[in-house]
A and B are shown apart, each in its own frame.
Chain A
């Protein structure tokens, strides 16, 4: 058994506990341990990806109990991609938080971050449906703490909404798992796939209910309409580095949809195939439209970024709903792009807010901020990436999706919605960018009344207190270059993603690897 598979789950758990217990008052030490841990995680996940890229599916049996009796972690190409992406994002978020001093504005930032990483890595690696629920709870409970990091009246209230919404989602998840267990008598994903394939079509009613309940749970996580209501307020109010990390949390929902509806309720399963894919497709089209209209209508830059996230989830799930190898490859490319691009957007939004002082994120002119030009350039880059214009990877991603869905039944509608909403996003970003950057007011313009948490004690913009602004800007530029590199390396990357998809659409290999012990 390859023990490296469990390291991405164990290492953050151990580091977080050590940080909480023995260095809770020493931020400098926490920073060193936290960043060193993130680098180690990146190295481990890269190593695991090299192993997984051979095509072999590795199974880690916890406590040496063979599946389906014990819990298994499964490393295949898709999990490997997701954990590497998480590790890269985590490193960027940690460095940005250190550079801007966000981690010093409340307690326990680094331990919570590592607990959250533990949950995310676990969700990507587990091969057991109930264990997926447990890891969802781990990542959620850490995210509740991160969401209200640094406190503040409105952030706490938004945090309460977020927690209540997700607790309801968790309850729904348990109902779904109970239904599936009642039907099949197992919760191991590979075993579920085997047993569900044996259910005769006439008895499939309860199983279909379970499939739809699970879809609803993942739709809450992926912010699919009409279950997206938790997202705009949460992302707009969360501390920016946390919002950037949350970019991977919506992807957990997308990953779970891809995994469950190719492995357990595969596209070949007659009982659910006519139910799931069309439902996701319609919801995703509406999600995309609402997200992009939200960009156009936003009056605050954080809200704009939050709606951009909803729009990108819509685009991603349109591609995922195709359930063909080509469309899934396009979905995976867009997933990688929108994770890095989303982080870039939230970092930039944070730089704007931190430098504008009392004007904060309002989309209306204020005086020139410090480092006006460089932030404007970053916003320009983030807008191009998010709206999907060349030369950045958003363009390549949308092109791949359009191409993959050319022969889909509703291709005309899909093309229209994707192209029209891209225009809306472009208009929204142009409007926001010109309001904030284009025509600054005079230096002595009267500032609006400062709201809580937008200025330092003596009224200066928060950016005056950044301990290492160069580090923060370096991270944001790294994100920008990563998005550009994704576009440049689109050829080799899509080849690799196509290999992932090929493995995903041969669930027999996954099932054989997990059930080998029986």
Chain B
């Protein structure tokens, strides 16, 4: 169980980091989602792994699973859901206005506004 959780978190994080380092916005967004899944599992595991245990300590019950990480994960899921929606809309907006889904801005720098260099 521990081995499965740990390797799942590790694989998700590794895949997420690989995708986040890509140049195009869609893989980057996918990478962010994978990282979110990894961190959700990680938060879930931070209250220790317990199978088939009640989340509340009562009389006559000997073991319990920590309910707080589950509440934290719920918050994190809601936030990451909203953030994913925002980043998808933003990436779409950037793509539609610039006709380029690259995440970098090299060679497209108009801030220096040096007319001579831009073939004026």
Most central of A144, A160, A452 by chain B CB within 10 Å: A160
B56 contacts A by Cβ under 8 Å: no
Interface residues on A, range: 35 or more
Stretch at the interface among A99-107, A238-246, A299-307, A509-517: A299-307
A11 contacts B by Cβ under 8 Å: no
B111 touches A160 (CB 8 A): no
> For chain B residues 15-54, which have a beta carbon within 8 Å of chain A?
20, 25, 28-29, 32, 35-36, 39, 42-43, 45-48
B39 touches A168 (CB 8 A): no
Q: Contacts of A372 on B, CB cut-off 8 Å? A: none
Task: A97 to B8: give the CA distance in the assembly, Å.
Answer: 48
A161 touches B118 (CB 8 A): no
A161 touches B103 (CB 8 A): yes
Q: Mark B74-104, 1 if CB is under 8 A from A, else 0.
A: 0110011011001100110110011010010
The smallest beta-carbon distance between A169 and chain B, in angstroms, is 11
B46 touches A360 (CB 8 A): no
Q: Contacts of A179 on B, CB cut-off 8 Å? A: 46
Task: A154 to B111: give the CA distance in the assembly, Å.
Answer: 9
A300 touches B90 (CB 8 A): no
If over half of A's interface residues share one DSSP class (helix, strand or loop), that class is named, otherwise mixed; here it is helix
B110 touches A168 (CB 8 A): no
Q: Contacts of A17 on B, CB cut-off 8 Å? A: none
Count A-B pairs with CB separation below 8 Å.
Answer: 125
B79 touches A137 (CB 8 A): yes
A451 contacts B by Cβ under 8 Å: yes
A164 touches B28 (CB 8 A): yes
Task: Specify the chain B residue showing the minimal Cβ separation from A302.
Answer: B111
B1 contacts A by Cβ under 8 Å: no
CB within 8 Å for A448 and B113 given contacts A141-B82, A174-B39: yes
A156 touches B32 (CB 8 A): no
CB within 8 Å for A163 and B86 given contacts A154-B108, A360-B113: yes
B115 contacts A by Cβ under 8 Å: yes
Task: Specify the chain B residue showing the minimal Cβ separation from A151.
Answer: B97
B115 touches A160 (CB 8 A): no
Q: Contacts of A175 on B, CB cut-off 8 Å? A: 39, 42
A473 contacts B by Cβ under 8 Å: no
Which single member of A158, A168, A448, A452 contacts B120 (CB below 8 Å)? A448
The smallest beta-carbon distance between A187 and chain B, in angstroms, is 8
B79 touches A134 (CB 8 A): yes
B61 contacts A by Cβ under 8 Å: no
Q: Contacts of B108 on A, CB cut-off 8 Å? A: 154, 157
Task: A141 to B78: give the CA distance in the assembly, Å.
Answer: 13
CB within 8 Å for A156 and B28 given contacts A178-B43, A361-B113, A362-B114: no
Task: A39 to B118: give the CA distance in the assembly, Å.
Answer: 46
B75 touches A177 (CB 8 A): no
The smallest beta-carbon distance between A408 and chain B, in angstroms, is 37
B103 touches A171 (CB 8 A): no
A451 touches B110 (CB 8 A): yes
Q: Contacts of B4 on A, CB cut-off 8 Å? A: none
Which single member of A148, A152, A449, A452 contacts B90 (CB below 8 Å)? A148
Task: A156 to B32: give the CA distance in the assembly, Å.
Answer: 19
A164 touches B87 (CB 8 A): yes
A-B CB contact pairs (8 Å), 11 listed: A137-B79, A163-B83, A171-B36, A174-B39, A178-B42, A178-B72, A182-B48, A236-B111, A299-B111, A359-B113, A362-B112
Q: Can you list the 6 inter-chain pairs with the closest CB atoms, starting with the nearest?
A: A448-B115, A362-B113, A182-B46, A178-B46, A156-B94, A300-B111
Known A-B contacts: A177-B72, A178-B72, A448-B115. Give 9 more (CB < 8 A). A154-B111, A156-B93, A157-B100, A163-B86, A170-B80, A181-B46, A182-B46, A300-B111, A452-B110
